[in-house]
Amino acid sequence: MNKYFIIVLLFLVTCCKSQSITTFSQLENNIRETLFQKGYISQNEYSQKKGFTIYGTYQRKVDEKKLRNGIYDLYLGNHSPQFKFIYERNKIIFLDIYSFKNFLESMRTQMVYLFEQRYCREIIVDYVKRLIRTHYSFNRNPRDLFNKNCEFREKRIPSTFYLNEIKSKIITEIAQKEDLKEENLQLEKIENIAVSELSVYFGINEKEKLEEGIYSYVNINSSVSNNSYFILNGNDIKFLKMDSDESFIKSIQEIILFGEDKNICSEKTIWCIEQLFSNYMENSCLSKVTKDLP
């Protein structure tokens, strides 16, 4: 009985393993099946093996004889949603960026992959920007290919905090980071905290409540000169963690969530994300690094 049980178990493990994709034909079939199951192509397109075209994100073509690992674009035609997928180690990871929920999860999946590949900052930022623009332009507004939130000037909404109240909370955050007791921090340290908004609106009026938005701060007496960041949303302050790839990815998602909630232009969201990247990663790209990417 045990012998037969082991044979059946081995059969189940073998038959249920995901298929290794080594040819372009297998890749097309896998993508076609995924698009059909998700309802993005019709029964007729599925049966006739039509409905989409695959492009390399950088090279805009695919070497059908030798598939390169990397990120690819899926083009379903004019006024149709656009998608991407990762091809790595003979496997496919489909990046569904049609709904906001799926887009946010796909952003995380893509960033995990990009960090694992140890790409330099410019390459990772470029992939992130492309994913954001595809979701907010092609998939949100496929007719005009434009994010409607960028048509009008952003509304400036006051929070419930004055500048010194924010600085006091920053001191508490610093104490927690450095594993210090807040009461042991010198009171005048509040004067050493410099706060600025990531915005085209420069300057902060200390006598008025700060407006909602994404802010940076730095302790000018600290040996570490990099900025830290927080999101100010009504009566809530959310400090953005950047002490690991996982926490950094979470912070990027928080910025995207804030932009979505406040109907902020996606180009401003991208600009804020670039500021975080500039503090998290070194600029280390070679001029022709993209030649090896699909």
Alpha-carbon gap, residue 290 to 294, rounded angstroms: 8
The mean predicted confidence, pLDDT, of the chain is 85
Residue 292 burial (C-beta neighbours within 10 Å; 0-12, 13-18, 19+): exposed
Alpha-carbon gap, residue 278 to 272, rounded angstroms: 10
Alpha-carbon gap, residue 246 to 118, rounded angstroms: 14
pLDDT value at 185 more than 60: no
Q: How many beta carbons lie within 10 A of that of residue 146, not counting itself?
A: 13
Q: Which of 244, 189, 257 is nearest to 220 (CA)?
A: 189
pLDDT value at 17 more than 50: no
Mean pLDDT within 35-63:
90
Q: How confident is the model over 136-148, as pLDDT tens digits?
A: 988 988 777 678 8
Q: What is the DSSP string of 79-118?
A: TS--EEEEEETTEEEEE--SSHHHHHHHHHHHHHHHHHTT
Q: What is the DSSP string of 51-64?
A: S-EEEETTTSS--T
Backbone angles phi, psi at 124, to 5 degrees: -65, -45
70-75, strands of its sheet edge to edge? 53-56, 70-75, 83-88, 91-95
Minimum mean pLDDT among 167-171, 204-208, 259-263: which range? 204-208
pLDDT band at 248 (very low <50, low <70, confident <90, very high): very high
Note the pLDDT of residue 9: 40
The one-letter amino acid code at 105 reads E
DSSP conformational letter for 178: T
- Radius of gyration, CA atoms only, the chain: 24
